[in-house]
Amino acid sequence: MTHPILSRHSGERIWLVDSSIYVFRAWFMRRNIPFDRNRNPVNAVRGFLHFLYDFLYEQRPEQIAFAFDTSLQTSARKEIYPDYKANREPAPAELKYQFQLCRDFLDALGIVQDASVHHEADDLIGTWAEQQRSPDKQIVIVSGDKDLAQLIGTNDLWWDYGRRKPLHDGGIKSEFGVWPHQLADQLAIAGDKADNIPGIPGVGMATAAKLLKRFGNLDNLLQNTDAIGQMQIRGAKRLQNLIKEHQHTVQLSRQLTGIYCQVDGLESDLGRRPKNETRLHELCELLRLSEQQFQQWQAI
């Protein structure tokens, strides 16, 4: 069922999906693991396909693209800061296998999908958003990652599909304390433990939001550090000294938290293509899906 907030925009809608989070959610649910015909575990694929079918059935997207991550070791952010995401274990072979099956399934359905060895899925989504953005279009970013909310413009939505309602720019402000265009600055100030991005010690997202409410953006904050001590917040003088001491760390972090929107070589036509019925049937058989399920995928 279409969410009421979607009906407020009558123009063309562009759906951009952060695929990995929906694969990982299924991967970490490790009970009753199914296997394919080659005895490989396919719990992550099955979970992703459950999300995918529900999404396609309910939303009937005409313009859509799925972004995937590949190797963290070759990412542009890793070149800037070698410890970026160093707290994450490399994906095991069985998970890489399942990621590829997810991509193969999308290909068979005629849906645009892509990945880059140098840029992350966020950057692909950012590039597609910039390619497609116009006054008569609405960008809907489907993700549970708040980092991607920085891409949301006046007409757009960020939606952790299946878990929460869609958020427009004002909803993001209410949820995270800053406007979308301030999110990358907020994360640079507070740091991001999930991505191993350093911030200012002892400064969290709420305090970062207060700073950005006062100064607007990170550049203005760093140019006016003496004014921080005059703010009506607890420990203002200490906060001023911390920011002065760690300003180089914050500037480094800002290079990591911003999304790069100029990835070369991405498909710009996001319309759905004809299905590859033969390949789709092969994948359904490999994944031990029933004939009825194959027919449902044919019809979607």
- Bridge partners for 63 per DSSP: 14, 271
Question: Measuring CA to CA, which residue among 149, 117, 157 is closest to residue 263?
Answer: 117
Phi-psi region of 202 (alpha: psi -120 to 50; beta: other; left: phi over 0): left
DSSP assignment letter at 4: G
How many residues would you count in the chain? 300
Question: Measuring CA to CA, which residue among 91, 92, 94, 96 is closest to residue 40?
Answer: 94
CB 179 within 8 A of CB 53: no
CB 42 within 8 A of CB 87: no
**Distance separating alpha carbons of residues 148 and 207, to the nearest angstrom:** 21
| Residue 73 CB coordination number (10 Å) | 10
Q: Is 158 helix (H, G, I), strand (E, B) or coil?
A: strand
E-only strand ranges, the chain: 12-18, 63-68, 112-115, 137-142, 157-159
Q: Is 48 helix (H, G, I), strand (E, B) or coil?
A: helix
Q: Is 192 helix (H, G, I), strand (E, B) or coil?
A: strand
26 φ, ψ to 5°?
A: -75, -35
| Terminal Cα-to-Cα distance of the chain (whole angstroms) | 15
Per-residue model confidence as pLDDT tens for the chain (300 residues) = 556 566 566 679 999 999 999 999 988 877 789 999 999 999 999 999 999 999 999 999 999 999 999 877 778 999 999 999 988 888 889 999 999 999 999 999 999 999 999 999 999 999 999 999 999 999 999 999 999 999 999 999 999 998 889 999 999 999 999 999 999 999 999 999 999 999 999 899 999 999 999 999 999 999 999 999 999 888 899 999 999 999 999 999 999 999 999 999 999 999 999 999 999 999 999 999 999 999 999 999
How would DSSP label each residue in 53-92?
A: HHHHHHH--SEEEEEE---GGG-HHHHH-TTTTTTSPPPP
150 φ, ψ to 5°?
A: -65, -15
**175: part of which helix (H) or strand (E)?**
helix 169-176
- Alpha helices (runs of H) in 90-143, residue ranges in sequence order: 93-109, 121-132
- pLDDT the model gives residue 239: 94
